[in-house]
Amino acid sequence: MRSSRAVVFIAFVSGLAAALIGGSGCLSSALATGTDRARESTEALRCVAFGPYVGDLDPDFGLHPDVPLIDTLLDRVVSQTGFDCIMTYGVLNGLDYVIKAADQRGLKVIAVIWLDTDTVINDASIEQGTETAKAYPDTVVRLSCGSEFRTRNGVALDGIIRDCIARLRAAGVPQPITSIDTWWEWCARSWPCQEWNLSADVEWIGINVHPWWENKFSGLFPCTTAAEAADFHIARLQDIIGRYPGKEVVLTEFGWPAGPDGDSETNEQTDQHCGVASEENQCLVVRETLAKLDQLGLQGSLFEGFREGDWKSRNEGPVGVFWGLCDGSPPYTCKQDCLPVCGNGVLDPGEQCDPPGNIGQCLGGVDCRTDCTCKPCPPPNPIAGSRLLIRNKLPDDENKNEIVLVAKDNNVTAGAIGSGSDPRCTDAGGSGSGGTLIVSSQVCGQAHATSLPCQDWTLVGKNPGVGSIPKGYKYTDGELDDGTCKVIVIRNGRRVKALCLGKGPTRLDYDLQEGRAQAPVDVVLTAGTQSYCAEFGGSIKKDGTNGKVFKAINASPPSVCP
Reduced DSSP (H G I as helix, E B as strand, rest coil) percent helix, strand, coil of the chain, to 5 = 25, 25, 50
pLDDT on residue 26:
28
Residue 491's φ and ψ, nearest 5 degrees, are -105, 120
Q: Which range is least confidently modeled, 51-60, 75-84, 144-153? A: 75-84
* pLDDT tens digits, 483-505: 999 999 999 999 999 999 999 88
Q: Which residues neighbour 15 within 8 Å (Cβ) at sequence distance 6 or greater?
A: none
The verdict on whether omega for the bond into residue 349 sits within 30 degrees of 0, i.e. cis, is no
Asked whether the CA dihedral 556, 559, 561, 562 is positive or negative, the reply is negative
Of 423, 474, 479, 473, the closest CA to residue 453 belongs to 423
SS3 for 500? strand
The H or E element spanning position 540 is strand 539-543
pLDDT on residue 446:
84
* pLDDT tens digits, 224-278: 999 999 999 999 999 999 999 989 999 999 999 999 999 999 999 999 989 999 9
Residue 382, pLDDT above cutoff 90? yes
pLDDT on residue 22:
29
Q: Which residues neighbour 441 within 8 Å (Cβ) at sequence distance 6 or greater?
A: 447, 518, 519, 520, 521, 522
| End-to-end CA, the chain | 36
pTM assigned to the model: 0.62
pLDDT on residue 344:
60
Of 79, 72, 35, 38, the closest CA to residue 55 belongs to 72
Give the whole-number percent of the chain exceeding pLDDT 70. 86
Residue 13's φ and ψ, nearest 5 degrees, are -95, 150
Of 211, 221, 548, 234, the closest CA to residue 395 belongs to 548
The DSSP secondary structure of 181-221, one letter per residue, reads EEHHHHTTT-SS----GGGGG-SEEEEE--HHHHHHH-SSS
The arithmetic mean of pLDDT across residues 2-31, rounded, is 33
> What are the structural domains, with CATH classification, of the chain?
29-338 (3.20.20.80), 343-374 (no CATH), 381-555 (no CATH)
* pLDDT tens digits, 21-31: 223 232 333 44
Q: How confident is the model at residue 548 (pLDDT cuts 50, 70, 90)?
A: very high
pLDDT on residue 19:
28
Give the whole-number percent of the chain exceeding pLDDT 90. 66
Residue 546's φ and ψ, nearest 5 degrees, are -80, 0
Provide the 10 A C-beta neighbour count for residue 331: 8
d(CA 121, CA 60): 13
C-alpha torsion 540→542→548→549, nearest 10: -50
d(CA 282, CA 296): 21
Contact criterion met (CB below 8 Å) for 383 and 390: no
Contact criterion met (CB below 8 Å) for 45 and 255: no
* pLDDT tens digits, 313-334: 998 999 999 999 999 999 999 9
397-415: buried (b, 16+ CB within 10 Å) or exposed (e) per residue?
Answer: ebeebbbebbbebeebbbb
Residue 12, pLDDT above cutoff 80? no
Q: How confident is the model at residue 51 (pLDDT cuts 50, 70, 90)?
A: very high
The arithmetic mean of pLDDT across residues 93-97, rounded, is 96
Of 275, 28, 235, 4, the closest CA to residue 114 belongs to 4
C-alpha torsion 439→442→443→445, nearest 10: 50
The arithmetic mean of pLDDT across residues 475-479, rounded, is 95
Q: How confident is the model at residue 431 (pLDDT cuts 50, 70, 90)?
A: confident
pLDDT on residue 443:
82
Residue 115, pLDDT above cutoff 80? yes
Q: Which spans in 256-358 are helix H?
A: 279-296, 311-316
Q: Which range is least confidently modeled, 93-107, 108-122, 527-541? A: 527-541
Of 69, 89, 182, 85, the closest CA to residue 129 belongs to 89
